[in-house]
Amino acid sequence: MAKIFRRRGLVATALTGVLAVGLAACGGDDGGSGGGEDGPIRIGTSLPLTGEFSQPGLAAQQGYEVWQEMINAEGGLLGRDVELVVKDDASNQNTIVADYNALISQEEVDLLLGTFSSLLNLPASAVAEKNQMLYVEPAGGSPEMFSRGFKYLFFTQQATADLQGKLFAEYLAGLPEGEKPETAAYPSIDDPFALPAVEGMREIMEAGGIETVYTETYAIDTKNFDSIVTSMKSEDADVVVHGSVFEDGVGMVRAMLKADFKPQWLYQTTAPSLGEQYADAIGPENTEGILFGISHSPKANTPGNEEFVAKYEEMFGGEPPEDAADAFASGQVLAAAVEAVGDLEDQTAMADWLRENSVETILGDLSWNEDGSPTGEFLIGQWQGDSVEFVLPESIATTDTFIQGWQPGGTG
């Protein structure tokens, strides 16, 4: 089991047992409030339930639904049931702006929760900021998110994107000569989370003496990765650091297997965190040794995690993907701020409270800088067998085994 990591300072109760929510409407357009101070607290979000980001978007919806189910079972928020109002932004930046404006002005929701990806959270958080509403989001870690001087924005993972692969990059750069890879390739989707994650790793690895032999940024609707793989293979890259979301992550692995290109190390952002969906898509025999930055493990011994995993399995079957856990943690953070302030009206006070306190979540204790960026450190996960283990940092590793490289067992 993983060891718990804890931060110093004030810690608000996770409210995993106190937060219980009630998800009521999905994609609803039946506006209006939930019945005044005696009715449910209505919390609005728009998620990419269709389109390019639908896999992680659906996982985030599941995480919100588990949070709602649990908090309502425990008596609700401020003694009132929670009702989720969920819209589908179709992975589109224009649609999500319209959705959040509608949630505020037409649905008249009491609170907001964020969407998936920095690409969508960038415009959505601007709508919340304009309306002075707290915006707690589970999947928008691009440094650009926190460069705008926003006061109501809070990210509920451990660190921003540029630090996602820091521990693994430092691990490779620190290997002794003879074991250290010599060359690396850095393909990435044109995404505000993936790009800084890849760039952060490249800077560390170059400083450590690992030569960059290939870089490429491709459009989000790219479906064919053959030419990218051909280039990486011709450059004989020892390491591939791939900035991916989901479908492109799967497509890249399939193309690599088809071309019989098997670099010593393979690191991808986001895609490998999608659990069984990812394994099924590339073939379970091909996951062995793939690494990625991760915020959550079903095995983590963090407060409330066991209950979350059990409820997820009950509601949806299987282990929860990372995006579901991140969304659940967003619910925990939102609830902690609401309970601390004691009403729904003063959302400026909620934001001030979060800047001054840490919150205990299933991801561990979270705290924030003035700009809403988190102050912690990502974990490094690795596919081992049919599950994911934490391998870095060593202090909270869930296994003593660190597989030295990608070991695909099939040809895709």
Please spell the DSSP secondary structure of 210-233, one letter per residue. Answer: PEEEEEEEE-TT----HHHHHHHH
Question: Which has the higher per-residue pLDDT, 22 or 243?
Answer: 243
Q: Which two tokens stand for residue 63?
A: 């995480």
What is the predicted pLDDT for the residue at 273? 85
Which of the four pLDDT bands, split at 50, 70 and 90, describes residue 88?
A: very high
Q: Residue 360: beta bridge partners?
A: 365
Tell me which of 26-30, 126-130, 215-219 is least confident: 26-30
Which of the four pLDDT bands, split at 50, 70 and 90, describes residue 93?
A: very high
Q: Residue 379: beta bridge partners?
A: 294
> Is the pLDDT score of 12 beyond 90?
no
Question: 347-356 and 322-341 are packed helices; what angle lies between their axes, rounded to 10 degrees?
Answer: 110
Integer Cα distance of 349 and 347 in angstroms: 5
Question: Which has the higher per-residue pLDDT, 51 or 16?
Answer: 51
Which of the four pLDDT bands, split at 50, 70 and 90, describes residue 28?
A: very low
Q: Which domains does the chain have, with CATH numbers?
A: 41-159+300-366 (3.40.50.2300), 162-296+379-396 (3.40.50.2300)
What SS3 class is residue 100? helix
Query: In the predicted model, what is the mean pLDDT of residues 371-381?
Result: 92
Integer Cα distance of 313 and 284 in angstroms: 20
Q: Which residues contact 177 (CB under 8 A, 6 or more apart)?
A: none
What is the predicted pLDDT for the residue at 20? 31
What is the predicted pLDDT for the residue at 36? 58
Which of the four pLDDT bands, split at 50, 70 and 90, describes residue 301?
A: confident
What is the predicted pLDDT for the residue at 192? 86
Q: Quick one: residue 353, left, alpha or beta (phi over 0 = left, psi -120 to 50 = alpha)?
A: alpha
What is the predicted pLDDT for the residue at 411? 42
Residue 410, exposed/middle/buried by CB under 10 A (0-12, 13-18, 19+)? Answer: exposed
Going by C-alpha positions, the residue among 292, 270, 271 that lies closest to residue 282 is 271
Helices (H), 208-304: 226-234, 247-258, 276-282
Place of tokens 């400083």: 207
What is the predicted pLDDT for the residue at 7? 29
Residue 235, exposed/middle/buried by CB under 10 A (0-12, 13-18, 19+)? Answer: middle
Tell me which of 9-18, 54-63, 340-349 is least confident: 9-18
